[in-house]
C-alpha cells in the first residue's frame, strides 16, 4: 500500500506494516525533549503517577534556553529542580544555560535522525522534521507518559505537500517562502496535517533553510513539517551521529496526500504583520512602519547563515538612532563561529546588542521585551499580542535580510 513519509515513520514506530490517516497508533519515541519552562510541569506529572525512573535516560534531552541565565527566582528554582532530576536519573544529554536554543541544539548535537519519532514539550519541535523525522510538540503531561513508558499515541495525520519550484530572487529567503505559504493557506489551513516541503527549490536548500520551513509548520496548524532526507541530510549528519537510519519518502499515489504547487520565481521579500502570522504582505507594502526594536535570532533565524546575511548588510553601517538591535545566536557553536568569522565585531560596531545564546524576546519572558506602543521587527516565528512584551506593542516578522536593512533605516525596508 502506498503511504506518505509520516505514515511510514509512524508505521515503523508502532510496529505495523501499514497505517492510514485517521488511525490511532501507539508509537515508540526515539528522542524526547523538555526545556527549562516545560520540564518542571512534566516532573510534577511524573510524581502524580508515582513514576520513580524514566524509561530510557539516554533518549531524553534537556536544554535550558528560555530563561537563561535565570532572570527570576522562579526561573532559578526551575533550573535547580531540573538539574537535580538530571543527576537523579543520570541523564547525560543535559545542556545547561550556556548551550543554546533547544531546536538548534538537538540536531546540532546529533539527537535527531531521519525516520524516527521526536517529541518535545515545545510547539516548534516540528523544526526537526527538516531532517526527515516525524517531530512534533506535545504537552508536558503527555511528556510525563513518554518519560514513564517511552511511547505515546498519535492520530496518523493527512499530508499536504508543498511542491515548491523556481529559483529564488536575490534577497528572498526560505523565511519569505514559508511566510508566503502561511499567508496563502491561513493560520489553520493545515490543522493536524503533516506539512511536507518538496520540489526543486527545497531540494536545493541548505539544512539551515529547511529548518526555517519546518519550524513554522505549526504556524499554519501543522502537526509536523517534513523534508524528505537526501544527500544534504546525510552531509549534515556526518560527524554528528553514528546511528544508522532509514530515509523514508512519500509515495506520489498515497491516498491521504494533497499536493499544492507553488512557484516562487517572482516572490518578493515578505513580512507578517500584527497580530497573526498569516497576515502576510510584501515587505514593500509596509515600508512606512517605524521601528523601536529589531531582533535577529530565535530557533527560526538565529543560525550562522542568518547572522552572515545580517552582517553583510550591517558592515560599515550604523543602527538608526532610537532603534535597538538585538542579535542572539541560536547556539554556543554558532556564537563561536560568528566570533571566528568576525561577525560579532560587525554587529557591535554597528551598534547592536549581542546576547548569549537563548530564546531572547521571542517568548516575551526574558531579555529584550518591548514596551507599550513599541514596534518590533523580529526574525522569529510568532507575532501574537503580547508575544514579545507589552500586549499593546506590535510585532512584525521577516527574514534577517529585511531585519538588518530595517535596523539601519529605522523603518521596515524591502531590499531591492
Query: pTM for this one?
Result: 0.94
pLDDT band for position 363 (50/70/90)?
Answer: confident
Mean pLDDT of 317-345: 98
Q: What percent of the chain has a predicted confidence (pLDDT) above 90? A: 95
Q: Flag whether pLDDT at 85 surpasses 80.
A: yes
Mean pLDDT of 279-292: 97
At residue 113's C-alpha, the angle toward residues 110 and 115, to 5°, is 170
CB atoms within 10 A of CB 87: 10
227-237 tens-digit pLDDT: 999 999 999 99
> In the predicted model, what is the mean pLDDT of the chain?
96
The pLDDT score that the predictor gives to residue 239 is: 95
Q: Flag whether pLDDT at 249 surpasses 90.
A: yes
Residues in the chain: 416
Mean pLDDT of 101-116: 97
pLDDT band for position 216 (50/70/90)?
Answer: very high
Distance separating alpha carbons of residues 400 and 294, to the nearest angstrom = 10
Q: Give the E-state strand segments of 174-229 in sequence order.
A: 194-198, 224-227
pLDDT band for position 373 (50/70/90)?
Answer: very high
The pLDDT score that the predictor gives to residue 140 is: 93
Lowest mean pLDDT among 308-322, 338-352, 359-373: 359-373
Q: Is 199 left (phi over 0), alpha (psi -120 to 50) or beta?
A: left
Q: Where in the chain is the domain with CATH 3.30.499.10?
A: 5-244+256-262, 270-409
Q: Flag whether pLDDT at 416 surpasses 90.
A: no
The pLDDT score that the predictor gives to residue 342 is: 98
Q: What is the dotted CATH code of the domain comprising 270-409?
A: 3.30.499.10
**Cα 33 from chain centre:** 14
The pLDDT score that the predictor gives to residue 397 is: 98
Q: Flag whether pLDDT at 364 surpasses 90.
A: no
The C-alpha cell that represents 29 in the structure block:
519515541
Q: Flag whether pLDDT at 34 surpasses 90.
A: yes
The pLDDT score that the predictor gives to residue 1 is: 87
DSSP 132-156: T-EEEE--HHHHHHHHHHSEEEEEP
Mean pLDDT of 47-53: 91
The pLDDT score that the predictor gives to residue 308 is: 98
The pLDDT score that the predictor gives to residue 84 is: 97
The pLDDT score that the predictor gives to residue 365 is: 77
Query: Do residues 127 and 111 touch, judged by C-beta distance below 8 A?
Result: no
pLDDT band for position 366 (50/70/90)?
Answer: confident
141-162 tens-digit pLDDT: 999 999 999 999 999 999 999 9
Residues 6+ apart with CB under 8 A from 337: 304
Mean pLDDT of 45-64: 95
Strands 24-28 and 151-155: antiparallel
At residue 395, what are phi and psi to the nearest 5 degrees?
Answer: -125, 125
Q: What is the dotted CATH code of the domain comprising 5-244+256-262?
A: 3.30.499.10
Whole-number CA gyration radius for the chain: 20
Q: What percent of the chain has a predicted confidence (pLDDT) above 70? A: 100
Amino acid at each position: 500500500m502506498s503511504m506518505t513519509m509520516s505514515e511510514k515513520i509512524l508505521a515503523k514506530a508502532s510496529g505495523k506494516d501499514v497505517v492510514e490517516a485517521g488511525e490511532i497508533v501507539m508509537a515508540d519515541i526515539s528522542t524526547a525533549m523538555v526545556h527549562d519552562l516545560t520540564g518542571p510541569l512534566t516532573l510534577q506529572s511524573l510524581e502524580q503517577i508515582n513514576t520513580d525512573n524514566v524509561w530510557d535516560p539516554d533518549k531524553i534531552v534537556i536544554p535550558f534556553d528560555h530563561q537563561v541565565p535565570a532572570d527570576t527566582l522562579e526561573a532559578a528554582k526551575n533550573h535547580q529542580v531540573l538539574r537535580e532530576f538530571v543527576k537523579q536519573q543520570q541523564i547525560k544529554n543535559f545542556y545547561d544555560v550556556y548551550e543554546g536554543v533547544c531546536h538548534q541544539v538537538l540536531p546540532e548535537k546529533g539527537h535527531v535522525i531521519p525516520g524516527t519519532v521526536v517529541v518535545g514539550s515545545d510547539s516548534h519541535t516540528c523544526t526537526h522534521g527538516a531532517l526527515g523525522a516525524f517531530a512534533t510538540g506535545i504537552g508536558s503531561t503527555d511528556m510525563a507518559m513518554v518519560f514513564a513508558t517511552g511511547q505515546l499515541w498519535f492520530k496518523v495525520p493527512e499530508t499536504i505537500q508543498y511542491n515548491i519550484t523556481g529559483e529564488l530572487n536575490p534577497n528572498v529567503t526560505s523565511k519569505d517562502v514559508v511566510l508566503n505559504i502561511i499567508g496563502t493557506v491561513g493560520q489553520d489551513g493545515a490543522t493536524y496535517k503533516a506539512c511536507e516541503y518538496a520540489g526543486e527549490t527545497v531540494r536545493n536548500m541548505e539544512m539551515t533553510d529547511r529548518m526555517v520551513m519546518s519550524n513554522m509548520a505549526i504556524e499554519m496548524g501543522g502537526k509536523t513539517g517534513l523534508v524528505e532526507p537526501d544527500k544534504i541530510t546525510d552531509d549534515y549528519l556526518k560527524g554528528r551521529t553514528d546511528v544508522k537510519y532509514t530515509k523514508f519518502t512519500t509515495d506520489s499515489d498515497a491516498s491521504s496526500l494533497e499536493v499544492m504547487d507553488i512557484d516562487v520565481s517572482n516572490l518578493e521579500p515578505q513580512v507578517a504583520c500584527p497580530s497573526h502570522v498569516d497576515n502576510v504582505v510584501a515587505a514593500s507594502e509596509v515600508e512606512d512602519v517605524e521601528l523601536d526594536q529589531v531582533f535577529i535570532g530565535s530557533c527560526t533565524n538565529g543560525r550562522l547563515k542568518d547572522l552572515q546575511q545580517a552582517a553583510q548588510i550591517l558592515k560599515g553601517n550604523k543602527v538608526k538612532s532610537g532603534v535597538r538591535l538585538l542579535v542572539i545566536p541560536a547556539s554556543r557553536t554558532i556564537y563561536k563561529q560568528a566570533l571566528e568569522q568576525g561577525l560579532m565585531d560587525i554587529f557591535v560596531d554597528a551598534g547592536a546588542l549581542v546576547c548569549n545564546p537563548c530564546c531572547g524576546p521571542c517568548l516575551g519572558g526574558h531579555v529584550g521585551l518591548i514596551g507599550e506602543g513599541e514596534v518590533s521587527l523580529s526574525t522569529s516565528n510568532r507575532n501574537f499580542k503580547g508575544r514579545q512584551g507589552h500586549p499593546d506593542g506590535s510585532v512584525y516578522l521577516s527574514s534577517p535580510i529585511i531585519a538588518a536593512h530595517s535596523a539601519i533605516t529605522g523603518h521596515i525596508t524591502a531590499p531591492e
